[in-house]
Structure 1
Amino acid sequence: MSCSRNRLVGIVFALAATVVWSGNFIVARGLVDSVPPVTLALLRWTTALVVLLPFGGMSFIRSLTAVRSHWRYLALTALLGVTIFNTLIYMAAHHTSALNLSLIATTSPMFILLFARIFLGEAVSPTRLGGVVVAVLGVIVLITRGQVHRLLTLELSVGDLGMLAAAMLFGAYSILVRRMPRDVPQGAFLTTTFGLGALMLVPWAAWEWSAGGVELHVTGQLVGAVLYIGAGASLFSFWCWNRAVEHIGPSMAGAVYYSLPLFSGIEAVVFLGEPVCWAHFLSGVLILGGIWLATRQGSRP
């Protein structure tokens, strides 16, 4: 596959993952008051594993020897990317505002860029760095609705710190994916990390139930939401993201990740009827322009 086509395929995979992840925020918003965070995370990854097993189970069995030899790497990847990362997001949503969460979430690509430079030795070209800066400006315009002075009124809380930790963990996960052993195929990798990640969530969820007296009311809306975040935001998106990192590396994939609040905003308008203002259009131009700068051929070091 040529370099240009390989880059295009990687960008498409990164965009696909980001689009579905953006819907995860819309769905999760409606579950905050009905499902506690760790339980929601366990339901999400258990669903993802069940859906994946018919496709990834055979790959896991065929690669069992390789999985055993790389169990430390797989366990660490599962702990960071599955057990803790998304659970922290769900927990943070209970303690901070949506504005704070949106702002802090955009630090993930910056952590990816930083970790890729430190651990993978990836150089950062001026064009890529400029693209990231433009995309960040677009995100800030979007989440502040053009009133940038609102950033001065933000106050950090426990939820803010939790979201910041989640952003760092996603950066670390993306670097680990780049180090994926060649003898562990995608199917086996996802099956193992989803299984280990869900297993490590069980005692955490059990503690949550014993401490909080959780009561779940199963409805069609809840089932549909769990299926979306399990099959879509977990299985499909993580598979696409891992493929994107394989094709274009974590730094360039991270630049595409800046489009997440743009897609979330579009979905909020379509599904939640939220109003549109000039800031949405300006931020869209800045985010897409920044992504173009950071991912075009000339941005490669």
Structure 2
Amino acid sequence: MRENHILQGHLLGAFTVLVWGTTFVSTKVLLRTFSPVEIMVTRFALGFAALLIASRGWMRAKEKRHEILFALAGLSGVTLYFLMENIALTYISASLVGIIVAAAPLFTALFAALLLHEKLGRWFFCGFVCAMAGVALVSLAGVSELHFSPLGALLGVGAALVWGVYSVLIRYLGAAGYATVPLTCRVFGYGLLFLLIPAFLEGFPAGPAAWLEPVHLANLLFLGLGASATCFATWNRAVFLLGPVRTSAYIYATPIVTIISSALILHETMTPSMWLGTALALGGLVLSERDGTKKENKSKR
């Protein structure tokens, strides 16, 4: 039974990253017409509605302190993460943002060790170094000019940091006995509530007709129902089954999926440095999972 749960966790983590790595296409199309805040509010509103229907209503928290944790999870994993990442893109290049945000597994591991008392083996840190080298090669391949700003870099680090907080909170709430879909629905509810603040300040500049265009509607539905509702639920389930440290290692593969999907969909060329970076990033993912595999083997004896 445990082996089935571990396999399920890995499959869910891989599936989630596969979808998240392709969302850049939809976001790129939508950014021609909509602002980042408009896209975020719409995708999470759609995701929240879908999860609310699937959950058959708003789940009640078992304890009052859990209510605070749900709010913190929504604030960190939805509102702050996406706002920081998108604002960082206005200060520094997308390549640098991708590299910085890919450090999220390190922050997740540190928070898990501090708050959940999870042990970190040497293979995790070896995998981190290997994967970051690969992510850097993939992200910087073909980039002739890098736009750097201390504020942009700080926002990128902040996004990676709050994702670590989110992962630990999800692990704790999952262990408290909450089902994945209602848990994710509650997190989305708080995240959407906090997102309404910047949405109110910025407004919705896109005209009503833009929302009903088939291309825009299709991409918004993909982001809202697929990348948000479905993938946050699968990611949260993977975190519960594998733990935040092992699940977060799959983030290393996100730039790889992005670069391969760009080659397939946009017909961009894969350079030798990209192939090398892909191999290093995937190697880092395997190394990071090695400590967890050793623990499983010991538990069988």
- Common fold by TM > 0.5: yes
Q: Is the 8 A contact 2:135 2:252 kept in 1?
A: yes
Give the equivalent residue in structure 2 for 1:79.
Answer: 75
1:187 Cα offset (Å): 2.3
Tell me, yes or no, if the aligned pair for 2:184 and 2:236 is still in contact at 8 Å: no
Counterpart CA distance in 2 for 1:48 and 1:9 is 23
3-state SS in 1 of match to 2:30: coil
Aligned to 2:151: 158
Question: Which TM-score applies when normalising by structure 2?
Answer: 0.88
Distance 1:238 1:69 in 2: 23
Distance 1:255 1:183, change over 3 A: closer
Q: How does 1:1-301 map to 2 (within 5 A)?
A: 1-2=1-2, 4-58=3-57, 60=58, 63-64=59-60, 66=62, 70-145=66-141, 155-180=148-173, 182-209=176-203, 214-216=205-207, 217-218=210-211, 219-296=213-290, 297-298=293-294
Question: Do 2:52 and 2:182's aligned partners in 1 also have CA atoms closer than 8 Å?
Answer: no
Deviation string, structure 1 residues 232-287 (Cα, Å, up to 9, x no partner): 11111111111111111111111121000000001111112211111222122212
2:130 and 2:284 in contact (8 A); partners too: yes
User: RMSD in angstroms over aligned alpha carbons?
Assistant: 2.4
Q: How many angstroms apart in 2 are the aligned matches of 1:234 and 1:247?
A: 20
Counterpart Cα distance in 1 of 2:202 and 2:195: 10
Deviations 1:80-109 (A, max 9, x none): 112221232233333321111111121111
- How far does residue 154 in structure 1 lie from its aligned partner after superposition? 6.0
Deviates more, 1:37-46 or 1:27-36: 27-36
Counterpart code for 1:277: T
CA distance in 1, matches of 2:72, 2:17: 23
Deviates more, 1:279-288 or 1:41-50: 279-288
Q: Which moved more, 1:138-147 or 1:221-230?
A: 138-147
The one-letter code matched in structure 2 to 1:228 is: F
Distance 1:184 1:111, change over 3 A: same
1:108 is matched by which residue type in structure 2?
Answer: A
User: Does structure 2 retain, via aligned residues, the 8 Å contact 1:127–1:299?
Assistant: no
Please report the TM-score for the alignment, with normalisation by the length of structure 1: 0.88
Q: Tell me by how many angstroms 1:146 deviates.
A: 8.3
Find the residue that maps to 2:239 and give its secondary structure.
helix
The answer as to whether partners of 1:67 and 1:184 remain within 8 angstroms in 2 is no
The CA deviation at 1:137 is 1.5
Unaligned runs of 5+ in 2: none
Alignment size in residue pairs:
291
Q: Distance in 2 between matches of 1:203 and 1:139?
A: 34
CA deviations over 1:99-135 (Å, ceiling 9, x no partner): 1111112111111111112222211111222122211
